[in-house]
Amino acid sequence: MAPGRLCSYVSCNAMSDSQKFPVATHALAYLAHKDATAMDRAISSAELAASMPTNPVVVRRVTAMLAKAGLIDTRAGAGGGAWLKVDPGAIRLDTVLKAVGGCTHLGVAPPGTKGCPVGERIPEAVSAAITAADLAAHERLSRITVSDLLNRPLEKL
Amino acid sequence: MAPGRLCSYVSCNAMSDSQKFPVATHALAYLAHKDATAMDRAISSAELAASMPTNPVVVRRVTAMLAKAGLIDTRAGAGGGAWLKVDPGAIRLDTVLKAVGGCTHLGVAPPGTKGCPVGERIPEAVSAAITAADLAAHERLSRITVSDLLNRPLEKL
DNA sequence: AATTATGTATCCGTCACTGTTTCAATTGCT
DNA sequence: AGCAATTGAAACAGTGACGGATACATAATT
């Protein structure tokens, strides 16, 4: 069998994202903090990057995804940049996680041996458990909005 | 700045594990299914690996961690292998996740700009959100035991 | 002694990510 | 018209972790 990744059961972009969710969340919070809610208040990727701090290209890679998800808008050219298209109080963090293609990365259940009824059930059960954990994380994030990041007491997030 | 990983804010083994949790969970379920609850019913890493299927060494790398966590015991030599040291009904999946060093891998909040009070708060808030999601996932997993994987209806996991 | 196993170390190929550079296209300003 | 600012996308390199494979010392059974 070819090396790498336990055959090919890996879906979900296993092992990817990493910093995409934090960067996206930070960027949205920064936009909200700066009241960037219209085109004439656009924030450049350079300024966003400086606030992390990270590279402007990394920021643009993320803002492009947020724009595709309809959370922000961007405009090229002088005075361009990104601004919020949705009220920050209405942007839930699970939406952000989905926008950047994230999941909890607990892995993917290996297939199990064919034939044995129990052997077939185990992978399904493991999958179900992983999915349940993933859903729980999303549900928890859905109770936090971008506004909450700025306003709610940290202990109550 | 040196390339890779946004400076060094990455802790938590970011991006690691992947298959460790599924493999560990599958292995424990298999041991429970085979009633491997004592030394004389030990299952070899070769058999466990065949049930995934994956490589025996990969299995041993995981079972070694489970043994260190006190969930199973292993013994070398002919007739050796692994067996459960704890009742499968008492092994919660969050314990398994911790045993293999897992987390939800949502990333690590970038530091943010010094000086600005809001700029300092954002990273803390992002961190808090990630931690909350991680806890939610662990909490959900804590409500599933290895026995449940074999016995409980899949929809009720 | 021969056999069966674990655990660990080492090496390799793969994969995704971050950071960087480059470039076309877009927009505002003078 | 021309220039400066800015996005988005592509291409490239370096890093890190993982899964798979092999090898080997150690341990336990027969």
Amino acid occupying residue A13 = N
For residue range B97-145, what is the model confidence (pLDDT) as tens digits? 999 998 889 999 998 877 777 778 999 999 999 999 999 999 999 999 9
pLDDT at position A18, please?
81
For position B1, what pLDDT does the model report?
45
Residue B46 contacts A where some CB pair is shorter than 8 Å = no
Number of neighbours of residue B146 by Cβ within 10 angstroms:
28
Q: How far apart are CA B2 and CA A137, in angstroms?
A: 33
Interface membership of B108 toward A (CB under 8 Å): yes
Strands (E), B31-137: 72-75, 81-84
Q: What is the pLDDT of residue B154?
A: 96
C-alpha–C-alpha distance, residues B147 and B156, integer Å: 13
Q: Which of B50, B54, B137 sits opposite A137 (nearest CB)?
A: B137
Confidence check: pLDDT of B11 > 80: no
A57 touches chain B (CB under 8 A): no
Are the C-beta atoms of B109 and A26 separated by less than 8 Å?
yes
Measured between beta carbons, which residues in chain B are less than 8 angstroms from residue A98? none
**Cβ neighbours of residue B92 under 8 Å, at least 6 residues apart?**
B141, B142, B143, B144, B145
Identify the band that residue A155 occupies on the pLDDT scale cut at 50, 70 and 90: very high
Q: What is the mean pLDDT of residues B136-156?
A: 97
**Mean pLDDT calculated for residue range A34-54:** 96
CB-facing half-sphere around the CA of B59: CA atoms within 13 A: 23
Q: Cβ(A128)–Cβ(B154) under 8 Å? A: yes
Structure tokens at A121: 């059930």
State the DSSP code for B73. E
Lookup result for tokens 């306003």: A151
For the ranges A6-15, A16-25, B143-152, the lowest mean pLDDT is seen at A6-15
Q: Which of A53, A119, A136 sits opposite B139 (nearest CB)?
A: A136
Half-sphere exposure of B141 (CA within 13 A, CB side): 30
**A-interface mutation test, from B47, B126, B139, most A Cβ less than 10 A away:** B126
Find the nucleotide nearest A72 (Cα to C1′): D7
